[in-house]
Structure 1
Amino acid sequence: MNELIQPFERIEHDLTGSASLDFRDDSAKKLMEMVVPGVDLSRFELAAVKLYVAGRKPVLTIYALVHSENTSNPAIETPVRKFKVPISWTQLFEYVRSFDLVVHNGKINMEEMRVDRK
């Protein structure tokens, strides 16, 4: 599978951008197990994480690839399951080592900026 750069939601937001996240050792699987107790990790693979924050408690959504036994008929769309839970910042960072978020107004190319420190 090729790594794809995915766009952020851009409709009706003041700023949009990109993000990156690094898990602690083996924490992606542990996070799946926390969100979905008893999950069969041979059947589901964490593919995407969405973090929504409005108010005091973030909401974590995990999109997990479904490893189907029927691979003879490849689908046009990728089958995923969605699991959504409220999560505290403390709990989130038990699994996440670092989270980097950059948003902008769309009027600049972040890679072509020259920053003046005056």
Structure 2
Amino acid sequence: MPLLLIVDDEVDITDTYSMLLELHGYRVITACHGADALDKARQHWPDLVISDCMMPVMNGLELCAALRRLPGGAQLPVILCSGAPERHDLSQSSHNLFLRKPVFFDRLLEEIGRLLPGRP
């Protein structure tokens, strides 16, 4: 069962995504900012990361760059999300996919399935 790491400083989002993704057969861990996510990823390497861009301590773009530097990080699928994409220079980021908030759950499930081989 794939492990997903959900990173967002809005607890409503992490709680909602966790509940819905667990109902669809995923294991989920959550983090409230990039530094927290990096610590958790080192402890339990995820199969995929879904991260907000705008967060305190370490934002989603910084998290993506830090994950890429870890062993196995180059192959880790990373989905970045933001309600204000114009605030970020996404051209320098190595994320796999960007989704504009609000992210519709059906689209999120579809993209997770596409990025994780062997999943529907």
Q: TM-score, normalised by structure 2?
A: 0.25
Q: TM-score, normalised by structure 1?
A: 0.25
Q: Which has the higher strand share?
A: 1
Which protein, 1 or 2, shows the higher relative CO under an 8 Å CA cutoff with sep ≥ 6?
A: 1
Q: Which has the higher helix share?
A: 2
Structure with the greater alpha carbon radius of gyration: 1
